[in-house]
Structure 1
Amino acid sequence: MTLALHPDAQDLLFRTARTATRFTDQPVGEDEVRAVYDLVKLGPTAMNANPLRVLLVRSPQARERLAVHMAEGNRRKVLDAPLVAVLAADVDFHDDLPRLFPHAPGARDRFAEDELAREDVAVRNAMLQAGYFIVGVRAAGLAAGPMTGMDAAGVEKELFPDGRHRVVLVVALGHPAPGAGHPRGPRPDYDEVVSTV
Protein backbone atom coordinates (compact mmCIF):
# COMPACT_ATOMS: atom_id res chain seq x y z
CA MET A 1 0.00 0.00 0.00
CA THR A 2 1.31 3.43 -0.90
CA LEU A 3 0.95 6.45 1.33
CA ALA A 4 -1.03 9.48 0.19
CA LEU A 5 1.90 11.78 0.97
CA HIS A 6 4.35 12.25 -1.92
CA PRO A 7 7.62 10.31 -1.45
CA ASP A 8 9.63 13.57 -1.45
CA ALA A 9 7.58 14.83 1.49
CA GLN A 10 7.97 11.47 3.23
CA ASP A 11 11.73 11.81 2.83
CA LEU A 12 11.77 15.40 4.11
CA LEU A 13 9.73 14.56 7.20
CA PHE A 14 11.09 11.11 8.02
CA ARG A 15 13.51 9.17 5.82
CA THR A 16 16.27 11.73 5.27
CA ALA A 17 15.60 13.85 8.35
CA ARG A 18 18.03 13.48 11.25
CA THR A 19 18.31 14.86 14.74
CA ALA A 20 20.58 17.86 14.20
CA THR A 21 23.55 18.57 16.42
CA ARG A 22 25.05 21.40 14.34
CA PHE A 23 23.50 24.24 12.37
CA THR A 24 24.56 26.97 9.98
CA ASP A 25 24.73 30.57 11.20
CA GLN A 26 21.58 31.45 9.26
CA PRO A 27 19.02 32.80 11.73
CA VAL A 28 15.56 31.34 12.16
CA GLY A 29 13.04 34.12 11.66
CA GLU A 30 9.81 34.77 13.48
CA ASP A 31 7.94 34.13 10.22
CA GLU A 32 9.41 30.62 10.01
CA VAL A 33 8.43 29.79 13.58
CA ARG A 34 4.95 31.22 13.01
CA ALA A 35 4.53 29.07 9.88
CA VAL A 36 5.56 25.97 11.85
CA TYR A 37 3.10 26.76 14.63
CA ASP A 38 0.24 27.56 12.23
CA LEU A 39 0.69 24.07 10.78
CA VAL A 40 1.24 22.01 13.92
CA LYS A 41 -1.54 23.63 15.96
CA LEU A 42 -3.94 21.59 13.82
CA GLY A 43 -2.77 18.26 15.25
CA PRO A 44 -5.28 16.47 17.49
CA THR A 45 -5.14 16.52 21.29
CA ALA A 46 -7.51 15.12 23.90
CA MET A 47 -10.50 17.44 24.26
CA ASN A 48 -8.72 19.89 21.95
CA ALA A 49 -6.82 20.88 25.10
CA ASN A 50 -3.72 22.28 23.36
CA PRO A 51 -1.60 22.65 26.51
CA LEU A 52 1.70 23.17 24.64
CA ARG A 53 3.48 26.45 25.31
CA VAL A 54 6.63 27.36 23.36
CA LEU A 55 9.25 29.68 24.79
CA LEU A 56 11.74 30.86 22.16
CA VAL A 57 15.18 31.37 23.66
CA ARG A 58 17.10 33.81 21.47
CA SER A 59 19.29 36.10 23.54
CA PRO A 60 22.76 35.00 24.72
CA GLN A 61 21.78 35.83 28.30
CA ALA A 62 18.70 33.59 28.15
CA ARG A 63 20.78 30.84 26.50
CA GLU A 64 23.20 30.94 29.43
CA ARG A 65 20.33 30.74 31.91
CA LEU A 66 18.98 27.67 30.12
CA ALA A 67 22.34 25.99 29.47
CA VAL A 68 23.23 25.66 33.16
CA HIS A 69 20.20 23.37 33.59
CA MET A 70 21.01 21.16 30.60
CA ALA A 71 22.96 17.91 30.77
CA GLU A 72 26.62 18.49 30.04
CA GLY A 73 26.39 17.00 26.53
CA ASN A 74 23.52 19.35 25.64
CA ARG A 75 24.92 22.67 26.91
CA ARG A 76 26.94 23.47 23.80
CA LYS A 77 23.93 22.63 21.60
CA VAL A 78 21.81 25.17 23.48
CA LEU A 79 24.49 27.84 23.24
CA ASP A 80 25.33 27.30 19.55
CA ALA A 81 21.96 26.72 17.81
CA PRO A 82 20.42 29.69 15.97
CA LEU A 83 17.24 29.23 18.01
CA VAL A 84 16.18 27.11 20.97
CA ALA A 85 12.57 26.35 21.84
CA VAL A 86 11.57 25.21 25.31
CA LEU A 87 8.37 23.18 25.01
CA ALA A 88 6.24 23.10 28.12
CA ALA A 89 2.81 21.93 29.26
CA ASP A 90 0.50 24.56 30.73
CA VAL A 91 -1.07 22.79 33.70
CA ASP A 92 -3.83 25.41 33.72
CA PHE A 93 -4.90 24.50 30.17
CA HIS A 94 -8.37 23.76 31.53
CA ASP A 95 -9.10 27.49 31.75
CA ASP A 96 -9.29 27.49 27.91
CA LEU A 97 -11.54 24.42 27.63
CA PRO A 98 -14.84 26.35 27.47
CA ARG A 99 -13.55 28.07 24.32
CA LEU A 100 -11.55 25.19 22.79
CA PHE A 101 -13.86 22.29 23.71
CA PRO A 102 -17.38 23.63 24.21
CA HIS A 103 -18.86 20.13 23.73
CA ALA A 104 -18.12 19.27 27.39
CA PRO A 105 -19.28 22.22 29.47
CA GLY A 106 -18.28 20.64 32.78
CA ALA A 107 -14.72 19.68 31.77
CA ARG A 108 -13.14 22.86 33.07
CA ASP A 109 -14.65 22.45 36.52
CA ARG A 110 -13.79 18.75 36.67
CA PHE A 111 -10.11 19.48 35.97
CA ALA A 112 -10.09 22.45 38.33
CA GLU A 113 -10.87 20.02 41.16
CA ASP A 114 -8.28 17.35 40.20
CA GLU A 115 -4.79 18.82 39.93
CA LEU A 116 -3.06 15.45 39.37
CA ALA A 117 -5.35 14.50 36.48
CA ARG A 118 -4.98 17.98 35.01
CA GLU A 119 -1.17 17.79 35.06
CA ASP A 120 -1.21 14.30 33.57
CA VAL A 121 -3.46 15.39 30.70
CA ALA A 122 -1.36 18.52 30.16
CA VAL A 123 1.97 16.69 29.98
CA ARG A 124 0.71 13.81 27.81
CA ASN A 125 -0.87 16.13 25.29
CA ALA A 126 2.06 18.57 25.27
CA MET A 127 4.35 15.63 24.46
CA LEU A 128 2.03 14.70 21.62
CA GLN A 129 2.18 18.29 20.38
CA ALA A 130 5.98 18.27 20.75
CA GLY A 131 6.08 15.45 18.20
CA TYR A 132 3.99 17.55 15.82
CA PHE A 133 6.34 20.47 16.45
CA ILE A 134 9.39 18.45 15.37
CA VAL A 135 7.63 17.28 12.20
CA GLY A 136 6.54 20.88 11.54
CA VAL A 137 10.12 22.10 11.92
CA ARG A 138 11.16 19.54 9.31
CA ALA A 139 8.28 20.57 7.02
CA ALA A 140 9.70 24.11 7.11
CA GLY A 141 13.02 22.82 5.78
CA LEU A 142 14.67 23.27 9.17
CA ALA A 143 16.27 20.68 11.40
CA ALA A 144 15.45 19.90 15.00
CA GLY A 145 17.65 18.69 17.82
CA PRO A 146 15.25 17.58 20.59
CA MET A 147 16.74 17.14 24.06
CA THR A 148 15.35 15.69 27.28
CA GLY A 149 18.68 15.65 29.14
CA MET A 150 18.13 18.47 31.61
CA ASP A 151 17.12 19.41 35.10
CA ALA A 152 13.51 20.09 34.12
CA ALA A 153 12.60 21.49 37.53
CA GLY A 154 15.54 23.89 37.26
CA VAL A 155 14.44 25.03 33.79
CA GLU A 156 10.91 25.54 35.08
CA LYS A 157 12.12 27.61 38.03
CA GLU A 158 14.43 29.65 35.78
CA LEU A 159 12.13 30.30 32.82
CA PHE A 160 8.60 29.62 34.11
CA PRO A 161 8.57 30.97 37.67
CA ASP A 162 4.76 31.17 37.70
CA GLY A 163 4.63 27.42 38.49
CA ARG A 164 2.06 26.77 35.73
CA HIS A 165 4.37 24.96 33.30
CA ARG A 166 6.05 21.56 33.12
CA VAL A 167 8.96 21.41 30.68
CA VAL A 168 8.68 18.42 28.35
CA LEU A 169 11.39 19.06 25.75
CA VAL A 170 14.09 21.49 24.67
CA VAL A 171 14.59 21.73 20.91
CA ALA A 172 17.56 23.31 19.16
CA LEU A 173 16.52 24.32 15.67
CA GLY A 174 17.91 25.92 12.58
CA HIS A 175 19.21 25.24 9.11
CA PRO A 176 21.29 22.05 9.29
CA ALA A 177 25.02 22.26 8.70
CA PRO A 178 26.59 19.61 6.45
CA GLY A 179 26.95 16.42 8.43
CA ALA A 180 24.72 17.85 11.15
CA GLY A 181 23.22 14.54 12.15
CA HIS A 182 24.51 11.11 12.99
CA PRO A 183 23.84 8.17 10.65
CA ARG A 184 20.40 6.75 11.34
CA GLY A 185 20.39 4.10 14.04
CA PRO A 186 18.43 0.88 13.64
CA ARG A 187 14.71 0.81 14.31
CA PRO A 188 12.59 -2.18 15.36
CA ASP A 189 10.79 -3.96 12.54
CA TYR A 190 7.02 -3.96 12.20
CA ASP A 191 6.65 -7.47 13.64
CA GLU A 192 8.66 -6.45 16.72
CA VAL A 193 6.32 -3.58 17.51
CA VAL A 194 2.88 -4.31 16.13
CA SER A 195 0.60 -7.06 17.40
CA THR A 196 -3.10 -7.81 17.05
CA VAL A 197 -5.64 -9.06 19.58
Structure 2
Amino acid sequence: MSDHLLSDRDLDLIFRNARTYNSWSERPVSAVELNAIYELMRMGPTAANCAPARLVFCQSEEAREKLAACAMEGNQDKIRSAPVTVIIGQDMEFYEKLPDLFPHADARSWFVGNDDLIAETAARNSTLQGAYLMIAARALGLDCGPMSGFDKDQVKEAFFPGTVITPNFLCCLGHGTTENLFPRSPRLSFDEACEIR
Protein backbone atom coordinates (compact mmCIF):
# COMPACT_ATOMS: atom_id res chain seq x y z
CA MET A 1 0.00 0.00 0.00
CA SER A 2 1.23 3.47 -0.85
CA ASP A 3 2.49 5.63 2.00
CA HIS A 4 0.08 8.28 0.71
CA LEU A 5 -3.05 6.22 1.42
CA LEU A 6 -4.91 5.97 4.70
CA SER A 7 -5.27 2.51 6.15
CA ASP A 8 -8.59 0.66 6.21
CA ARG A 9 -8.64 1.30 9.95
CA ASP A 10 -8.36 5.04 9.33
CA LEU A 11 -11.12 4.96 6.71
CA ASP A 12 -13.34 2.96 9.05
CA LEU A 13 -12.75 5.53 11.78
CA ILE A 14 -13.54 8.54 9.61
CA PHE A 15 -16.25 7.14 7.33
CA ARG A 16 -17.34 3.50 7.33
CA ASN A 17 -17.85 2.92 11.05
CA ALA A 18 -18.46 6.54 12.04
CA ARG A 19 -21.99 7.33 13.18
CA THR A 20 -24.18 10.27 14.12
CA TYR A 21 -24.38 9.99 17.90
CA ASN A 22 -27.34 11.05 20.03
CA SER A 23 -25.96 10.36 23.53
CA TRP A 24 -22.59 10.96 25.10
CA SER A 25 -20.27 9.67 27.77
CA GLU A 26 -19.12 12.02 30.51
CA ARG A 27 -15.57 11.96 29.17
CA PRO A 28 -14.60 15.60 28.56
CA VAL A 29 -13.22 17.23 25.42
CA SER A 30 -10.32 19.58 26.14
CA ALA A 31 -9.51 22.97 24.69
CA VAL A 32 -6.33 21.37 23.32
CA GLU A 33 -8.47 18.90 21.34
CA LEU A 34 -10.71 21.67 20.03
CA ASN A 35 -7.67 23.62 18.90
CA ALA A 36 -6.29 20.52 17.17
CA ILE A 37 -9.59 20.04 15.34
CA TYR A 38 -9.52 23.61 14.10
CA GLU A 39 -5.88 23.38 13.01
CA LEU A 40 -6.84 20.48 10.74
CA MET A 41 -10.18 21.79 9.46
CA ARG A 42 -8.78 25.20 8.50
CA MET A 43 -6.55 23.52 5.91
CA GLY A 44 -9.51 22.27 3.87
CA PRO A 45 -10.16 24.13 0.61
CA THR A 46 -12.79 26.84 0.20
CA ALA A 47 -13.62 29.05 -2.78
CA ALA A 48 -10.88 31.68 -3.16
CA ASN A 49 -9.71 30.56 0.30
CA CYS A 50 -12.62 32.59 1.68
CA ALA A 51 -12.98 30.54 4.91
CA PRO A 52 -16.32 32.04 6.04
CA ALA A 53 -16.91 29.64 8.95
CA ARG A 54 -16.88 31.12 12.45
CA LEU A 55 -17.12 28.66 15.33
CA VAL A 56 -18.46 28.88 18.84
CA PHE A 57 -17.56 25.84 20.96
CA CYS A 58 -20.23 25.62 23.66
CA GLN A 59 -18.35 23.77 26.38
CA SER A 60 -19.49 25.30 29.67
CA GLU A 61 -22.77 24.20 31.20
CA GLU A 62 -24.02 27.78 30.85
CA ALA A 63 -23.25 27.94 27.12
CA ARG A 64 -24.73 24.50 26.43
CA GLU A 65 -27.90 25.40 28.32
CA LYS A 66 -28.21 28.67 26.41
CA LEU A 67 -27.84 26.80 23.12
CA ALA A 68 -30.24 24.03 24.15
CA ALA A 69 -32.89 26.67 24.78
CA CYS A 70 -32.63 27.61 21.07
CA ALA A 71 -33.06 24.03 19.83
CA MET A 72 -36.12 21.96 19.07
CA GLU A 73 -37.19 19.72 21.94
CA GLY A 74 -35.72 16.56 20.43
CA ASN A 75 -32.25 18.12 20.26
CA GLN A 76 -32.12 19.82 23.66
CA ASP A 77 -30.91 16.82 25.68
CA LYS A 78 -28.29 16.02 23.05
CA ILE A 79 -26.80 19.48 23.48
CA ARG A 80 -26.99 19.38 27.27
CA SER A 81 -25.32 15.97 27.52
CA ALA A 82 -22.57 16.44 24.91
CA PRO A 83 -19.31 17.77 26.37
CA VAL A 84 -19.17 20.29 23.52
CA THR A 85 -21.57 21.48 20.87
CA VAL A 86 -20.08 23.70 18.20
CA ILE A 87 -22.08 26.31 16.35
CA ILE A 88 -20.84 26.51 12.77
CA GLY A 89 -21.58 30.07 11.77
CA GLN A 90 -20.92 32.00 8.61
CA ASP A 91 -19.41 35.46 8.41
CA MET A 92 -21.43 37.40 5.85
CA GLU A 93 -18.50 39.81 5.45
CA PHE A 94 -15.93 37.07 4.88
CA TYR A 95 -14.74 38.93 1.79
CA GLU A 96 -13.16 41.62 3.96
CA LYS A 97 -10.41 39.12 4.85
CA LEU A 98 -9.72 38.15 1.23
CA PRO A 99 -6.87 40.65 0.73
CA ASP A 100 -4.96 38.57 3.31
CA LEU A 101 -6.35 35.13 2.51
CA PHE A 102 -6.27 35.41 -1.31
CA PRO A 103 -3.61 38.09 -1.99
CA HIS A 104 -2.83 37.21 -5.60
CA ALA A 105 -6.14 38.64 -6.91
CA ASP A 106 -8.59 41.38 -5.99
CA ALA A 107 -11.12 38.80 -4.79
CA ARG A 108 -12.80 41.22 -2.41
CA SER A 109 -14.19 43.16 -5.38
CA TRP A 110 -15.96 40.02 -6.64
CA PHE A 111 -18.26 40.10 -3.65
CA VAL A 112 -18.76 43.70 -2.51
CA GLY A 113 -22.35 44.69 -3.28
CA ASN A 114 -23.27 41.25 -4.66
CA ASP A 115 -25.55 39.96 -1.90
CA ASP A 116 -26.63 36.83 -3.77
CA LEU A 117 -23.04 35.74 -4.38
CA ILE A 118 -22.10 36.53 -0.77
CA ALA A 119 -24.97 34.43 0.59
CA GLU A 120 -24.31 31.50 -1.75
CA THR A 121 -20.56 31.51 -1.12
CA ALA A 122 -20.91 31.83 2.66
CA ALA A 123 -23.45 29.01 2.87
CA ARG A 124 -21.62 26.59 0.60
CA ASN A 125 -18.18 27.13 2.06
CA SER A 126 -19.11 27.29 5.75
CA THR A 127 -20.95 24.00 5.22
CA LEU A 128 -17.80 22.56 3.63
CA GLN A 129 -15.79 23.75 6.61
CA GLY A 130 -18.30 22.14 8.97
CA ALA A 131 -17.76 18.86 7.14
CA TYR A 132 -13.99 19.29 7.47
CA LEU A 133 -14.53 19.84 11.20
CA MET A 134 -16.34 16.51 11.49
CA ILE A 135 -13.68 14.65 9.54
CA ALA A 136 -10.97 16.24 11.69
CA ALA A 137 -12.82 15.39 14.90
CA ARG A 138 -13.26 11.78 13.85
CA ALA A 139 -9.63 11.52 12.76
CA LEU A 140 -8.62 12.71 16.25
CA GLY A 141 -10.75 10.08 17.98
CA LEU A 142 -13.93 12.03 18.71
CA ASP A 143 -17.49 11.32 17.66
CA CYS A 144 -19.92 13.76 16.07
CA GLY A 145 -23.61 14.53 16.20
CA PRO A 146 -24.41 17.11 13.50
CA MET A 147 -27.87 18.66 13.60
CA SER A 148 -30.23 21.25 12.28
CA GLY A 149 -33.41 21.59 14.31
CA PHE A 150 -32.81 24.92 16.02
CA ASP A 151 -34.16 28.45 15.81
CA LYS A 152 -31.68 30.33 13.67
CA ASP A 153 -32.80 33.75 14.90
CA GLN A 154 -32.54 32.73 18.55
CA VAL A 155 -29.02 31.35 18.06
CA LYS A 156 -28.03 34.51 16.22
CA GLU A 157 -29.33 36.68 19.06
CA ALA A 158 -27.82 34.51 21.79
CA PHE A 159 -24.36 33.95 20.31
CA PHE A 160 -23.74 36.46 17.50
CA PRO A 161 -25.58 39.65 18.55
CA GLY A 162 -24.57 42.81 16.75
CA THR A 163 -22.42 40.93 14.23
CA VAL A 164 -22.72 39.87 10.59
CA ILE A 165 -22.29 36.21 11.57
CA THR A 166 -25.28 33.92 11.13
CA PRO A 167 -25.60 30.27 12.26
CA ASN A 168 -25.46 27.46 9.70
CA PHE A 169 -25.68 24.22 11.70
CA LEU A 170 -24.67 22.62 14.99
CA CYS A 171 -22.48 19.63 15.80
CA CYS A 172 -22.10 17.85 19.12
CA LEU A 173 -18.59 16.57 19.84
CA GLY A 174 -17.45 14.00 22.35
CA HIS A 175 -17.36 10.26 22.90
CA GLY A 176 -20.64 8.77 21.79
CA THR A 177 -22.46 5.91 23.47
CA THR A 178 -24.70 3.28 21.91
CA GLU A 179 -27.73 4.56 23.82
CA ASN A 180 -30.32 5.86 21.34
CA LEU A 181 -28.05 4.87 18.45
CA PHE A 182 -30.19 3.92 15.48
CA PRO A 183 -29.17 1.14 13.09
CA ARG A 184 -27.17 2.56 10.22
CA SER A 185 -29.47 3.81 7.50
CA PRO A 186 -28.91 2.66 3.92
CA ARG A 187 -26.90 4.69 1.45
CA LEU A 188 -27.40 5.04 -2.28
CA SER A 189 -25.19 2.83 -4.43
CA PHE A 190 -22.76 4.28 -6.95
CA ASP A 191 -25.14 3.43 -9.81
CA GLU A 192 -28.04 5.14 -8.06
CA ALA A 193 -26.20 8.37 -7.32
CA CYS A 194 -23.45 8.69 -9.92
CA GLU A 195 -22.75 8.62 -13.61
CA ILE A 196 -19.53 8.77 -15.56
CA ARG A 197 -19.70 10.65 -18.84
Match of 1:80 in 2: 81
Match of 2:14 in 1: 13
Match of 2:31 in 1: 30
In 2, Cα distance between the equivalents of 1:181 and 1:39? 27
Match of 1:108 in 2: 108
Closer, same or farther: CA 176–84 of 1 in aligned 2, 3 Å:
same
Kindly report which structure 2 residues correspond to 1:93-172, keeping only aligned pairs within 5 A, or say none. 93-105=94-106, 107-172=107-172
TM-score (norm 2): 0.93
Tell me the CA shift for residue 121 of structure 1: 0.7
Tell me the CA shift for residue 178 of structure 1: 4.2
In 2, Cα distance between the equivalents of 1:86 and 1:95? 22
On the 8 A contact 2:64/2:84 being kept in 1, the answer is no
Q: Which shows bigger deviation, 45-54 or 56-65?
A: 56-65
Tell me the CA shift for residue 182 of structure 1: 2.2
3-state DSSP of counterpart to 2:131: helix
In 1, Cα distance between the equivalents of 2:175 and 2:96? 36
On the 8 A contact 1:23/1:180 being kept in 2, the answer is no
Counterpart AA for 1:62:
A
Gaps of 5+ in 2: none
**1:43 partnered with 2:44:** yes
Match of 1:91 in 2: 92
3-state DSSP of counterpart to 2:89: strand
Counterpart AA for 2:87:
V
Tell me the CA shift for residue 179 of structure 1: 4.6
On the 8 A contact 1:157/1:163 being kept in 2, the answer is no
- Percent sequence identity over aligned pairs: 37
Tell me the CA shift for residue 118 of structure 1: 1.2
In 2, Cα distance between the equivalents of 1:10 and 1:88? 28
Closer, same or farther: CA 78–153 of 1 in aligned 2, 3 Å:
same
